[in-house]
Structure 1
Amino acid sequence: MKKEINGKVWKFRDSIDTDVIIPGRYLRTFSLDELASHVMEGENSEFAKNVEKGDIIVAGWNFGCGSSREQAPVALKHAGVDAIVARSFARIFYRNAINVGLPVIVADIEADEGDKLQIDLEKGIIQNLTTGKSCHIQPFHDFMLGILQDGGLVPHYLHNKQDTNSDGL
């Protein structure tokens, strides 16, 4: 996980729920590739086929509402999404995304599908490289950056536990 993210925008509407992100009929699989191959298919049938590593979702209000399935942010991350920028997030989705190492950013950025964004999590700046417009966001604190850098909450815990154990404690 980088402190700076550069990617192409995929634009989505308000109230994208977890059933839209990954429909329930695919939750029986443990294959991340299988989950990722169906991500967002109800909203944009071409998304899973065309999303590339580093791409960014820009959405409206209440992204990730609905059920609290952790597979939703996992599928997005595994498909290649490096960050989600939305006007607001469902609380549980926000927490699940951070827990799996997927940056979620509350902001109202002007961006169209296909625009290029640059997000600096440490400085708190989103710049639309296509239009030249930028906005300020709440910078991510070192603790949050550490979780994202380690790939999620569990790897972060294990990394820090390992550091503690290496001191002979």
Structure 2
Amino acid sequence: MPTVHVFARDHINTDEIIPARHLTTDVEAELAKFAMEDYDKTFVKRVQPGDIIVAGADFGCGSSREHAVWALRGAGVGAVIAPNFARIYYRNSINNGFLALECEGIVEAFEDGDDADLNLQAGTVTNTRTGQSLTFVPVPQFALDVQKAGGWLEYMKEHDAADLEAETLNAHSTEAGHGHPGHDSTEVDSATQDPATQEKTHA
């Protein structure tokens, strides 16, 4: 049964997940030694394979470095559960076959050191101490397939271009919201808008 490590603050950034001073390697085992170092120096001594991080909203904001995913995975973390994630971190997690699960109320449901029962098929996470069970946003089949393949690069080897173009990944953390700018589907980026249309728009 995985143990939960609670980092309740919102907006935990990638420099806290893996400080920039340690970005001298892309070897997960090396990065893992410094995971969450600037937030909790004891974390790497306590974490065990398969453990879960529960965090506040907008987890993984800041730099787009993939090292922030590699460091946690290298440390043995099996999943991060938060109300939502910074969009690039969420995408990096999917690309690397790492579970980033969106779940409202997750911080309030767990205390540091609680055990959790994570059921991907049912879409639930249960605090075994209290019996409280929460439902998280279903993991897209695409994300599960990438995880099973061992990451995006391995997944691409198994699928042709048509399959890849047909894949979609829609989740709260990939949409505009929770402090992130974004485009509504009806908006057109002015940088790509036809000049004639721009003239009419600004006339």
Instruction: Sort the TM-score into its range (normalised by shorter chain).
Output: 0.7 to 0.9
Residues paired across the two proteins, number: 157
Residue 42 (structure 1) aligned with residue 38 (structure 2)? yes
Which residue is equivalent to 2:157? 158
Aligned AA (1:90): A
Larger Rg, first or second structure (1 or 2)? 2
Secondary structure of the 1:105 match is strand
2:59 to 56, 63, 69: 63
Unaligned runs of 5+ in 2: 161-203
How far apart in 1 are the matches of 2:143 and 2:121?
Answer: 10
How far apart in 2 are the matches of 1:159 and 1:130?
Answer: 41
Which residue is equivalent to 1:18? 14
TM-score, normalised by the number of residues in structure 1: 0.87
Identity, % of aligned positions: 44
Structure 1 moving runs of 4+ over 4 Å: none
Secondary structure of the 1:53 match is coil
Aligned AA (1:102): F
Which residue is equivalent to 2:70? 74
Which residue is equivalent to 1:125? 124
Which residue is equivalent to 1:83? 79
1:138 CA displacement: 2.3
TM-score, normalised by the number of residues in structure 2: 0.73
Secondary structure of the 1:84 match is strand
Query: Could you say which structure has the greater relative contact order, defined with CA pairs below 8 angstroms and 6 or more residues apart?
Result: 1
How far apart in 1 are the matches of 2:102 and 2:120?
Answer: 12
1:106 CA displacement: 0.8
Unaligned runs of 5+ in 1: 1-5, 162-169
Residue 7 (structure 1) aligned with residue 6 (structure 2)? no
Aligned AA (1:115): D
Which residue is equivalent to 2:183? none
* Partners of 1:122 and 1:141 within 8 A in 2: no
1:30 to 26, 29, 44: 26
Which structure dedicates a bigger proportion of its chain to strand? 1
